């Protein structure tokens, strides 16, 4: 099973949102990382077949998705970033409705809905109106609808926004289990969401994929560029202007432990630290708005 993105470009009037992107997706979880505006949503919408590229194509097992039409939709699950709920529907009615849109046979539908509600811990709210659910629960309903047809390809655009830490962990586990023999592409700007579950990551910046690889491969490129140093707290402000700080931790006695990325040591008594994906992300997006693990 293979999804091939070939020289995909999407140009709006004065903006090239996706610029000549090529990527071959194989089974497993893929993290699509990038800052806001990098082009992730635009790329995903083209892969989902709901946005027409300016140029380039997407092929599923060698056949262009345009040519596959309905057959592609049958093997495809998609959770858009902001997807319209039907707030007056109950959870179960909404899933029934989505199942009928996807053409699922009624016999299978009830069983599938029960199974998904259980896996996403939504059984207790199955008869509640969607508008009455918390943001995190609504997100899980969205994930459930994307899984209804047991898709071979699952595309999730910022699926963890609004989930609390416990829900995030549960969500990661569900996906890891689900991704065996399937292609799962998750976009996020929260590095920790994909660091442990993604088999591979693609990092997107300004409409282009600037790095692809397993977390280990990508992290290796940061060997020797991640540093740790403990300095008096009052000096932090000075160094923050000159180095790219990843994390700061308060220590006892008025000092702070600083983790930063740099070609060479820039703070007193710096020691090399084992790199993580977040360090690479900060390195690649240096100069842009810092992206931290918000909402965690
Ligand atoms: N319909 C459109 N018309 C014009 N420009 C657009 C349109 N859709 C997206 N863009 C622009 O294309 C760029 C990429 O947007 P996109 O939504 O794909 O990024 P993203 O990485 O998903 O960011 P976010 O996480 O904020 O959604 C942005 O600069 C955006 O303003």
Name the pTM for this structure: 0.88
**Closest atom, ligand 1, to C-alpha of 38:** 21
Tell me the fold of 3-219. Rossmann fold (3.40.50)
Main-chain dihedrals φ then ψ at residue 150, nearest 5 degrees: 50, 55
Domain regions of the chain by residue span: 3-219, 224-274
DSSP string, 113-182: HHHHHHHTT-GGGTTSBGGGS-HHHHHHHHHHHHHTT--SEEEEESTTTT--HHHHHHHHHHHHHHTTTS
**Spatial separation of the C-alpha atoms in residues 53 and 250, rounded to whole Å:** 49
Residue nearest to ligand 1 atom 2, measured at CA: 12
Judge if the beta carbon of residue 10 lies within 6 A of ligand 1: no
Give residue-wise pLDDT tens across range 10-40.
999 989 999 999 999 999 999 999 988 899 9
pLDDT in tens, the chain (296 residues): 999 999 999 999 989 999 999 999 999 999 999 988 899 999 999 999 999 999 999 999 999 999 998 899 889 999 988 766 787 899 999 999 999 988 899 888 999 999 999 988 899 999 999 989 887 888 889 989 999 999 999 999 988 877 788 888 888 888 888 888 899 999 988 888 888 789 899 999 999 999 999 999 999 999 999 999 999 999 999 988 888 999 999 998 899 999 999 999 999 999 999 999 999 999 998 765 444 433 33
Judge if the beta carbon of residue 37 lies within 6 A of ligand 1: yes
Pair of tokens at residue 277: 């994906």
Quote the DSSP letter at residue 219.
H
**Spatial separation of the C-alpha atoms in residues 65 and 58, rounded to whole Å:** 6
Judge if the beta carbon of residue 45 lies within 6 A of ligand 1: no
**Closest atom, ligand 1, to C-alpha of 189:** 25
Judge if the beta carbon of residue 42 lies within 6 A of ligand 1: yes
Q: Quick one: which of 135, 134, 158 has its CA closest to 146? A: 158
Residue nearest to ligand 1 atom 17, measured at CA: 41
The predicted complex's ipTM stands at: 0.95
CA of 26 to the centre of ligand 1 (A): 26
Give the torsion sign (CA, 47, 51, 55, 57): positive
What SS3 state is found at 41?
helix
Residue nearest to ligand 1 atom 5, measured at CA: 12
**Spatial separation of the C-alpha atoms in residues 263 and 59, rounded to whole Å:** 40
Mutate to test the pocket of ligand 1, among 11, 15, 78 (most ligand atoms within 8 A of CB): 15
């Amino acid at each position: 099973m293979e999804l091939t993105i070939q020289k995909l470009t999407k140009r709006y009037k004065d903006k090239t949102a996706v610029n000549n992107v090529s990527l071959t997706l194989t089974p497993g979880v893929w993290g699509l990382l990038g800052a806001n505006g990098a082009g992730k949503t635009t790329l995903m919408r083209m892969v989902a077949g709901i946005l027409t590229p300016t140029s380039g194509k997407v092929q599923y097992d060698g056949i262009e998705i345009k040519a596959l039409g309905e057959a592609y939709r049958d093997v495809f699950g998609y959770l858009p970033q902001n997807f319209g709920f039907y707030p007056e529907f109950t959870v179960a009615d909404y899933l029934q409705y989505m199942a009928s849109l996807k053409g699922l046979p009624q016999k299978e539908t009830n069983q599938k809905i029960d199974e998904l509600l259980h896996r996403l811990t939504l059984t207790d709210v199955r008869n509640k109106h969607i508008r009455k659910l918390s943001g995190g629960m609504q997100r899980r309903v969205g994930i459930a609808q994307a899984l209804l047809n047991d898709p071979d390809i699952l595309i999730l655009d910022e699926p963890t926004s609004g989930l609390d830490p416990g829900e995030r962990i549960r969500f990661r586990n569900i996906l890891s289990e689900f991704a065996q023999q399937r292609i799962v592409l998750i976009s996020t700007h929260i590095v920790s969401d994909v660091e442990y579950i993604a088999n591979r990551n693609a990092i997107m910046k300004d409409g282009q994929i600037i790095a692809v690889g397993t977390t280990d491969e990508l992290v290796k490129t940061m060997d020797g560029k991640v540093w740790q140093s403990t300095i008096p707290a009052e000096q932090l402000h000075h160094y923050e202007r000159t180095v790219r700080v990843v994390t700061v931790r308060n220590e006892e006695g008025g000092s702070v432990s600083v983790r930063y990325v740099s070609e060479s040591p820039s703070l007193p008594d710096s020691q090399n630290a084992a790199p993580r994906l977040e360090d690479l992300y900060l390195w690649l997006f240096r100069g842009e708005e810092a992206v931290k693990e918000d909402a965690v």
